[in-house]
Structure 1
Amino acid sequence: MRTRWVGLLSVLAAAVLLLPQTRLLDTKPDGNSREQQVRSEQQEQSAKLAAVDQDKEATAMLCMTECTKDFRRMMAQTTSGSSRAKMVDHMMSSHQHMHYVSWIAGSRSVHKGKLPPTKSGTASSYVTAAAARVKQGGKYESPVFQGDDGSSYMVLGVPDQRSKGMGIVSVVMQDIVKQVEAHQRRNLRLVPYPHEGNYRIESVDPNTNQDIHVQSGEDNGNASHYHVKDVVVKFTQPLSKQDLNKIQYEIRAISTRQLRDHYIFRSQDMDARQLVDYFNEVWKPAYVEPHYLYMTNETAQEQQAIVPNDLLYSEYQWNLPSIETEKGWSRSKGNEQVIVAVLDTGVQQNHPDLQGKLVKGLNIVDSNAEPEDDVGHGTHVAGIIGATVNNGEGVAGVSWYNKIMPIKVLDSSGAGSTYSVAQGIIWAVDNGAKVINMSLGNYAQAEFLHDAIKYAYERDVVLIAASGNDNTERPGYPAAYPEVFAVGATDAKSKRASFSNYGDYIDVAAPGASIASTYPGGQYAALSGTSMASPHVAALAALIRSANPKLTNAEVMDIMRNSAVDLGTPGKDNDFGYGLIDVDRALSAATQSSTSLQNYPEQVKARLNEISRRYMN
């Protein structure tokens, strides 16, 4: 099945070959070059659309495979009617996309949930056909159909392999496929994102801050976005209360926020340019800049490989074997004391495959709410890092034991402000995060955000960021800041993914095409993007810090660079940086570093704890 999975990606890999190495963003084209640019953009869009279709198909496969295996596991575990009912209740409560489940077992049959209403009785007809097929010992999958509620459904029938005439029939909601399509069209910048006006925002050229109008997803590759009537100001001297009152009066401020020595002012009627001029002329600050938005960037001795039993691993998770994760697990599976902060759209707190993996987080978008995920992006990123391994459920994360700190800095549209991201970084550092993953970005440098990144770096935190999904050489931020480890994406053929940004700031590459991971609703989805590549590297950084806690953040970054497998042009190049990460080689280097001898007692203690945990579980 893995061959089939990799084969499905070959269309995407082939599309990559059609793409030019650079885009003509900064030159004024003549007639012929303009025609070539249009053709190049059309080819790039075709490759991205192929990636979206790939993710949709893979997500539908994941959904059906997961349900089928869950039902077979249930049927293998129980014989009594009461236990059947309890297992069905538990399954439906943790997998809310299962709307109806009928466990066919003669007089001890169990029926839970309701059929979705359909005008022509489509659902009932498919359920009847599925039941008949199951009783004959065959599997059944209906076509996708529309319910009167506007949702998409599919009927699945799974026979009991031990008892003829018995089995399970379920009506499964398939809206996740539509959600993935909408999500990925934004994430891969196939549509203008975010929509101008949603935040009272403007799109600008990141070099000049001159207005540009984003009419297509292609235009996102040369645009940054900011709040129309906001500015971020860092003063050279602390403001007195009188000074602050004066500013608020003169700019007719409707809100003022402070984060350490930075202020964010929002005016009732002055735009960002007027505010910048006002502060530069009257207050002579250290700097004043627009309040930018950031968006998701959704792609030695031979060690014995450890192959986990997670339901979807062997068939769909091509990404982990490709970076030697299975061998690396023999060296380290992580340590719960090394926390990875995920600055994103939040994380589903009760996802079955993330239970026990989350520590207390923060919702910066809504301070009165938990950092729940209302997009899907953050839950997917979190699963790549740390979905529970070897629990027979769903997918496996890169790390077995590192904890995840969910920090919601992006709202339901997948966008968040400089303030939100900066506050998230500082909060993560102050609350014990050792690694921070940022699958988000913009093309404008913001001093406010850079100050927060310096704060984290100076406190020995490893910062990882996605490079972006616009197939452009233009540096994206925060990935291009020198304190941040920048990640590009590869596909299943170890080629640069068609959407992945590139450039001399790229440190390494990691898998980012059709990556299977956790998704809201207790589900699983396949998504593509450098957003998916970045958490592979964040998890590796956490494994390295678990294997050798004495290493500094700079040493961790050097180990990941130096242990990477060279791809493309020999040596460091713009497509892959130092190459594709290698978990086994990186962990081998970490345990053999110059700090290994002085760290030996901690390594022994960690190893004993791991052995103890293994035999207690």
Structure 2
Amino acid sequence: MWRFLSTLAVALGLGIFLFPHHTSHRTKPGPEVYSAKYETTSKLALLEQDVKLTDELCRSQCSIDYTRMLHDIESGAPVTNVLKNMREHHEKMDVLIWSKRSQPWEQGIKSGDVPAANKDQAMAYLKEAKAAVDAGKSYQSPKFGAGKQVYFVQGTPSTKDDSSLIGVIHQDVLASVTDHQMKNLRLEPYPSEHRWKVESVDTNTLKDKVVDHPEDNQGTSHYHQNEVVVRFKTDPTEAQLQQIKSEIKAISSQKLGYTYVFRTEGMDAKALMSYFNKWNVAYVEPHFLYMTNDVDPALDTTVTDSSSTPISTNFIPNDNLFQRYQWNLPLIETTQGWQLSRGANDVIVAVVDTGVDLQHPDLQGQLLPGYNVISANSSPQDDVGHGTHVTGVIAALVNNELGVAGMTWYNKVLPVKVLDQTGAGSTYSVAQGIIWATDHGAKVMNLSLGNYADSGFLHDAIQYAFDKDVALIAASGNDNTEQPGYPAAYPEVFAVAASDSKNEKAPFSNYGDYIDVTAPGVSIASTYPNNQYAALSGTSMASPHVTALAALIRSANPNLKNTEVYEIMRKSAQDLGDVGHDKYFGYGLIDVVKAIQMAKQTTPPFSY
């Protein structure tokens, strides 16, 4: 870990460019383009860019928040109420100070306290900020502090009187994004935490694979050390089940559908698999681990689509981070696609992930009551950030003068938390989440998670959802490997690779014949917990673009089956790379306009 942090520090210090010159993907990229060295260097550069862009997103949104506070004060709202309300809804604003030009900042109206960490630097920058705003200039200091204790000072003068706002803003989001992306981009081995064991994908031998370098993550899987998943050809009787529990000294057993999960203290997975060979089993496998590849509103049953409230042909949303940071939506013709479909409330999108920030202001009214598989008595509140980011790509409120715009306006998101606070979840939790979402109305499902182990248990859950006509969209993975990852590589699932703003293959993106399409996945700006916004990279970020498109298609034509939705997205994609389908881009980059047009023009019997 320290070795890679040192490498990261060097990369940040040298200012590595995001996309060094390399062969165009109009010619087939060779192994030398995506070597392990190139992959690692590119991922570190992407991490640097994501952190830098997250810093910009934070500063941009905070500048807007300051301007709005001054407007409220100028309109007659009590200063103390305005400052207190902002700090309650934006906990990262450690201190806010309103003062008049002739007044020392220490004598202004203050809410919160200057952070004890790095107090001297904070005080010095507050002094600079006060001098700047008194001169009628806006001010932002450099970052200061380290780790989770990183801050900057901001100052904004009033445009109508001689007052101003200055304050200290806590930027622990930068450390969160760094930690998140080190795992999401597989720049560090997944920590065992005494629960998981890093293994090769060979589920028969379970041969150990030691992961010392980020590129060694290719083809590795993780599983519970003392658990197995078993599906019997014929369910055991109660007496047989008790015999099994006694012989393996089981401390717990769970059943989901027809599949059992047994846990013991005295036997490891290899021994347990050997034991169950004497029983009449359809399969026995390790209990694999799946990782990120990043007040509940009542259901509104009114179906609304783009035809009810037309928008202009040159419409640009007023979300304040859209034009500067959301390169990804115009690239795939999203704004033009809104002329044809902006979604429908009854086409529900499940996000099976780390949960969602249920209080995020840019997601209000977009979320349905979901489910927490990890803790059944808790809400699906996101404690990682990955699921909130994915959800924002799909359904962040559009044209609300706040933050980012999602791809759909009206499709509701059903948050299902299957990954814990480390960003990992077992086969059982993922399978349970898939089945629960299917049984609770999901028409489209995003799975920005994966593992290289082909689990019969997970495949059963995927098959269940597919048979119920759910469109299943999954991220291919972030190891730049051709080895199939699951669930993306299952035939029932629509697999997504990632590309950048130049329509080049993202250097981390997995590839293979199973890839269906490509979507933007590099430095994607979206919602993040605690009223924040962040930029993340990964196929996890590409997948929700396709999920949102599937929701728009099903909203435009509710009669389409999941397989027909898949075919429309393939047929309408903009070809990249080699002509036709190829293993790096699939059928190409998704095209929102063409896909929705095709959906609207398709009538039974369906043929392509």
Please report the TM-score for the alignment, with normalisation by the length of structure 1: 0.88
Q: Which residue of 1 aligns with 2:129?
A: 130
Within the candidate set 187, 209, 214, 2:211 is matched to: 214
Between stretches 120-129 and 178-187, larger displacement belongs to 120-129
Within the candidate set 274, 279, 288, 1:277 is matched to: 274
Q: Is the 8 A contact 2:234 2:280 kept in 1?
A: no
Q: Which residue of 1 aligns with 2:4?
A: none
Q: Is the 8 A contact 2:23 2:29 kept in 1?
A: no
Q: Is the 8 A contact 2:148 2:172 kept in 1?
A: no
Alignment deviations for residues 469-504 of structure 1 (CA, whole Å, 9 cap, x no partner): 001111110000000000000101111111111111
Aligned length: 569
Alignment deviations for residues 114-169 of structure 1 (CA, whole Å, 9 cap, x no partner): 1111466221221122112111111111122228x961110011222333x33221
The answer to whether structure 1 residue 43 and structure 2 residue 52 are counterparts is no
Within the candidate set 325, 336, 346, 1:316 is matched to: 325
Within the candidate set 188, 191, 194, 2:185 is matched to: 188
Paired with 2:75 and 2:316, the residues of 1 have a C-alpha distance of: 33
Q: Aligned ranges for residues 385-534 of structure 1 at < 5 Å?
A: 385-534=394-543
Q: Which residue of 1 aligns with 2:358?
A: 349
The Cα shift of 1:81 comes to 5.0
Secondary structure of the 1:495 match is: coil
> Which consecutive unaligned segments of at least 5 residues does structure 2 have?
1-14, 295-310
Within the candidate set 528, 538, 546, 1:537 is matched to: 546
Between stretches 215-224 and 562-571, larger displacement belongs to 215-224
Paired with 2:272 and 2:198, the residues of 1 have a C-alpha distance of: 15
Q: Aligned ranges for residues 243-258 of structure 1 at < 5 Å?
A: 243-258=240-255
> Which consecutive unaligned segments of at least 5 residues does structure 1 have?
1-8, 24-35, 598-617
Between stretches 492-501 and 13-22, larger displacement belongs to 13-22
Alignment deviations for residues 483-542 of structure 1 (CA, whole Å, 9 cap, x no partner): 000000010111111111111100000000000001111100000000000001101111
The aligned amino acid for 1:158 is T
The Cα shift of 1:596 comes to 10
Within the candidate set 90, 95, 100, 1:100 is matched to: 95
The answer to whether structure 1 residue 14 and structure 2 residue 9 are counterparts is no
- Aligned Cα RMSD in Å? 2.4
Paired with 1:105 and 1:402, the residues of 2 have a C-alpha distance of: 46
The Cα shift of 1:398 comes to 0.7
The answer to whether structure 1 residue 71 and structure 2 residue 71 are counterparts is no
The Cα shift of 1:50 comes to 0.3
The Cα shift of 1:438 comes to 0.5
Secondary structure of the 2:132 match is: helix
The Cα shift of 1:547 comes to 1.0
Q: Which residue of 2 aligns with 1:577?
A: 586
The Cα shift of 1:225 comes to 1.2
Paired with 1:438 and 1:150, the residues of 2 have a C-alpha distance of: 29
Q: Residues 303, 135 of structure 1: CA spacing in aligned structure 2 closer, same or farther, 3 A cutoff?
A: closer
Q: Is the 8 A contact 1:13 1:495 kept in 2?
A: no
The answer to whether structure 1 residue 158 and structure 2 residue 156 are counterparts is yes
Between stretches 125-134 and 115-124, larger displacement belongs to 115-124
Q: Residues 303, 507 of structure 1: CA spacing in aligned structure 2 closer, same or farther, 3 A cutoff?
A: farther
Paired with 1:196 and 1:218, the residues of 2 have a C-alpha distance of: 18
Alignment deviations for residues 325-372 of structure 1 (CA, whole Å, 9 cap, x no partner): 000011111111111111111111101111111111111111222111
The Cα shift of 1:73 comes to 3.1
Q: Residues 206, 21 of structure 1: CA spacing in aligned structure 2 closer, same or farther, 3 A cutoff?
A: farther
The aligned amino acid for 1:524 is Y
The answer to whether structure 1 residue 383 and structure 2 residue 378 are counterparts is no
Q: Residues 162, 218 of structure 1: CA spacing in aligned structure 2 closer, same or farther, 3 A cutoff?
A: same
Within the candidate set 550, 557, 572, 1:563 is matched to: 572
Between stretches 78-87 and 498-507, larger displacement belongs to 78-87
The aligned amino acid for 2:178 is E
Alignment deviations for residues 415-447 of structure 1 (CA, whole Å, 9 cap, x no partner): 111101100000000011111100000111000
The answer to whether structure 1 residue 297 and structure 2 residue 303 are counterparts is no
The answer to whether structure 1 residue 594 and structure 2 residue 600 are counterparts is no
Q: Is the 8 A contact 1:399 1:543 kept in 2?
A: yes
Q: Which residue of 2 aligns with 1:115?
A: 114
Q: Which residue of 2 aligns with 1:32?
A: none
Q: Is the 8 A contact 2:506 2:521 kept in 1?
A: yes
Q: Which residue of 2 aligns with 1:3?
A: none
Alignment deviations for residues 44-77 of structure 1 (CA, whole Å, 9 cap, x no partner): 1111100000001000000001111222233335
Q: Which residue of 1 aligns with 2:7?
A: none
Q: Residues 391, 150 of structure 1: CA spacing in aligned structure 2 closer, same or farther, 3 A cutoff?
A: closer
Paired with 1:586 and 1:12, the residues of 2 have a C-alpha distance of: 31
Secondary structure of the 2:17 match is: helix
Q: Residues 175, 206 of structure 1: CA spacing in aligned structure 2 closer, same or farther, 3 A cutoff?
A: same
Q: Is the 8 A contact 1:293 1:418 kept in 2?
A: yes
The aligned amino acid for 2:195 is Y
Secondary structure of the 1:436 match is: strand
Q: Is the 8 A contact 1:22 1:473 kept in 2?
A: no
Paired with 1:492 and 1:11, the residues of 2 have a C-alpha distance of: 14
Q: Which residue of 2 aligns with 1:603?
A: none
Paired with 2:399 and 2:85, the residues of 1 have a C-alpha distance of: 20
Please report the TM-score for the alignment, with normalisation by the length of structure 2: 0.89
Paired with 1:220 and 1:118, the residues of 2 have a C-alpha distance of: 37
The Cα shift of 1:206 comes to 3.5
Q: Is the 8 A contact 1:16 1:497 kept in 2?
A: no
Secondary structure of the 1:11 match is: coil
Paired with 2:118 and 2:43, the residues of 1 have a C-alpha distance of: 37
Within the candidate set 245, 265, 270, 1:268 is matched to: 265
Q: Is the 8 A contact 1:15 1:498 kept in 2?
A: no
